[in-house]
Homo-oligomer: A and B are copies of this chain.
Amino acid sequence: MDKPLEALIVDSILDAIGDQRLRAGTKLGEQALSEIFGCNRLHVRRALSMLTGWQVVDHLPNRGAYVATPTPQDAHDVFQARRAIETTICRNAVRQATPQDIADLRAHLAEEDAARGHDNRPVAIRLSRGFHILLARIGRNPVLARYLDELTMRSSLIIGLYGTGHATLCAEDEHARITDAIEARDEVQALALLDQHLRHIEAGIHFDDAAPATGALSVALRR
């Protein structure tokens, strides 16, 4: 149990980014993190290095690490990459989904529904992203799944920065209709709905108002 120390830091920060608790631009001080996680500063340093590999942390020499601030160009590239990758993932899912996979998707949709019903926005955000991750797992291509992990993280940063109000969540009925198409093995329909869905998300961002970073690190990383 001595290995996953820095992996825990990485996962914790990734979760916080994916859930939009950590916003673009917040400073990730080494000392602060080592106190939060009760560990050596070198472990923090390695974790931050891994996170820069994920493209979600920028490392400015002698000035520290900051949660990455995607540019409008980044946003466009990320969403185009998502369409490219999730299309293939979805095709895999249509062809390979087992009854258990479909059941998992239905259960996930129910959770999403419940979170919305309770107006639980933080959980709704997490589950909204989780649908795409679950789809990737069903697609059974770890390489693509890994890239999608990274791209959804960056999407969270983008939406947190440029997203406007109601557009910060995936429309749930779109998730449901994609699930229907997968269950019906309707590949063309599933791919079309997914592409449409991703374009809807992208349409919900506007580069005029970029909300600045704020908030305390320690509370953003509380679980």
- How far apart are A91's CB and chain B's nearest CB, in angstroms? 9
Q: How does the 8 Å CB contact mask read for A67-92 relative to B, with 1 for contact and 0 for none?
A: 00000001001101101110110000
Is A144's beta carbon under 8 Å from chain B? yes
Is A50's beta carbon under 8 Å from chain B? yes
Point out the residue from B46, B147, B151 that lies within 8 Å of A81, measured CB to CB.
B147
Contact B144 A81 (CB under 8 A): yes
Point out the residue from B49, B55, B85, B143 that lies within 8 Å of A74, measured CB to CB.
B143
Is A122's beta carbon under 8 Å from chain B? no
Per the bound structure, the CA–CA distance linking A147 and B141 in Å amounts to 15
Interface positions of A from 31 to 81, Cβ below 8 Å from B: 46, 49-50, 53-55, 61, 74, 77-78, 80-81
Point out the residue from B61, B142, B144 that lies within 8 Å of A84, measured CB to CB.
B144
- Known contacts A3-B61, A61-B3, A147-B147; is A141 also within 8 Å of B81 by CB? yes
